[in-house]
Chain A
């Protein structure tokens, strides 16, 4: 991990302790332009905490974090919006940055929720809300995207389409992505670098490297390892959000 100007965020031996309990410690990783780094690990292994350290949400941390960009799009894992606020999808889209109508429409179309633009945010389903969250994060054309389980609650076909979209965005905007996902299939198809967490970094590397790692096998089981190795084929087509099939 040399220091070059493509690095967007760099964590060095970072950790966070809450009430004398380490949530995560000793994490070193860096996200570069155009690269997707994925965090995997069991529940409570510190994935979201790691993302929050990288984003600077958690303040009293151990180790070092350096952010080299301020253009950040974030999709948090849990979001508790207070519904005493009358908030439409449109208002939510311009929450952290003012955008023109065209940009907003484009982003909402990409995630397939343009028809919800004037709906009240409190009336959306879980999956719809997730699509709006993703649209908001990509609409500001960020240099760094941090996606904490961005497709939770989204239907199966939508899930695949959204992951394809995330991959496409990373190529088009040439932004760095820090992705947290449970779905090993999708992780492996697109990721450049996998970090396997279990309170600390248990192993990291390319998807293939991680799949062969014995610690990874111990953590996720033999089956998970097979999923990774089986995923060594290339798609010759993509599914667009409208359901069309396009040849590569």
Chain B
């Protein structure tokens, strides 16, 4: 069944959407879009290291992204630079270093476009295992830290005062971010992973009135984006990542009309 590249891509995309749905909501709630971007940019470095050392790509990306997150925390504590400047610094320098390393690896033929924008042809059966097992693990851990993470997202002091250990939840969440980037990089490409995280969640925000609903709609939005995106990618021979993101944007635009309706109803 998984012989067909398109079925593989579809199964991979569905797995990714289940995980980006809830994580994307937290990215929006905690205002982490740019942070996600930074981790995704650093993923290129992870990929090149994986290639040069003949190492598993997902694992290598996961390690490098976590490392970048750690460096970010250190820089935040030790410099007086604002957070967004540090994020920009890390995002672009790790992307640049990644590209420079690619330049040195002349003995390997790199599909840079595929890395940046995703390539459905590249999804192997092994990738499916990584996505589904890794994704299930991410969701399980998210479930475990849910209370503390969500409470501290609403209000840090309440969470801390009432014993939910928000600092630990935040640290674990950062690792989950690195993990989702690692497992979805082949599908969506590193420039568009943040889009996969935030666009379905933003769509969901427009049409939901409770956190649970937002998460469910965000997952549904992600699934639809993957399915619509991949079919049109096949049909029009476009790169998979941009097609998925364009589909997500399409859903977001539709959700805007729903807002208009509710505002009218209220008046």
Contacts and interface: CB of A to CB of B under 8 A. Distances in A.
A86 B163 contact: no
Q: Chain A contact residues: over half helix, strand or loop, or mixed?
A: loop
Nearest to B162: A96
A74 B210 contact: no
21 contacts: A55-B160, A56-B161, A57-B161, A72-B162, A73-B162, A76-B157, A76-B158, A82-B154, A84-B28, A84-B29, A85-B154, A85-B211, A86-B209, A86-B214, A87-B154, A91-B210, A95-B150, A96-B147, A96-B151, A120-B209, A140-B162
A84 B153 CA distance: 10
B186 interface: no
A72 B162 CA distance: 5
B198 to A, nearest CB: 11
Given A76-B157, A91-B211, A95-B150, A86 B205 contact: yes
A146 B211 CA distance: 27
A248 B40 CA distance: 66
Interface size class of A (residues with CB under 8 A): 20 to 34
B154 A74 contact: no
B232 interface: no
B210 A95 contact: no
Contacts, number: 74
B204 to A, nearest CB: 9
B31 interface: yes
Interface in A67-108: 70, 72-74, 76, 79-82, 84-88, 90-92, 95-97
Given A72-B163, A81-B154, A82-B154, 17 more contacts: A52-B157, A56-B161, A57-B157, A70-B163, A72-B162, A73-B162, A82-B31, A84-B31, A85-B153, A85-B154, A85-B211, A86-B213, A87-B211, A88-B209, A92-B154, A97-B162, A140-B162
Q: Chain B contact residues: over half helix, strand or loop, or mixed?
A: helix
A6 to B, nearest CB: 20
B213 A96 contact: no
Contacts of B164: 96
Interface size class of B (residues with CB under 8 A): 20 to 34
Contact of A57 (B31, B151, B160, B211): B160
Interface in B221-258: none
Contacts of B157: 52, 55, 57, 74, 76, 79
Which of A52, A73, A80, A86 lies at the interface centre, i.e. has the most chain B CB atoms within 10 A of its CB?
Answer: A86
A90 B150 CA distance: 14
Interface of A: 52, 55-57, 70, 72-74, 76, 79-82, 84-88, 90-92, 95-97, 120, 140, 146
Interface string B152-179: 0111011111111000000000000000
Nearest to A92: B154
A74 B205 contact: no
A96 B165 CA distance: 11
A238 B7 CA distance: 71
Nearest to B25: A85
A74 to B, nearest CB: 4
Contacts of A80: 155
Interface in B140-156: 147, 150-151, 153-155
B93 interface: no
Contacts of B163: 70, 72, 96
B124 interface: no
A97 B150 CA distance: 11
A161 to B, nearest CB: 24
8 tightest A-B contacts by CB?
A74-B161, A55-B161, A96-B162, A70-B163, A57-B160, A95-B151, A85-B29, A96-B151
Contacts of B147: 96
A97 B158 CA distance: 11
A184 to B, nearest CB: 26
Contacts of B153: 82, 85
A88 B214 CA distance: 12
Interface in B113-144: none
A74 B162 CA distance: 7
Nearest to A96: B162
Interface in B180-223: 205, 208-211, 213-214
B158 A96 contact: yes
Contacts of A76: 155, 157-158, 161
Given A55-B160, A56-B160, A86 B211 contact: yes
Which of B28, B157, B162, B209 lies at the interface centre, i.e. has the most chain A CB atoms within 10 A of its CB?
Answer: B162
A87 B162 contact: no
Contacts of B150: 95
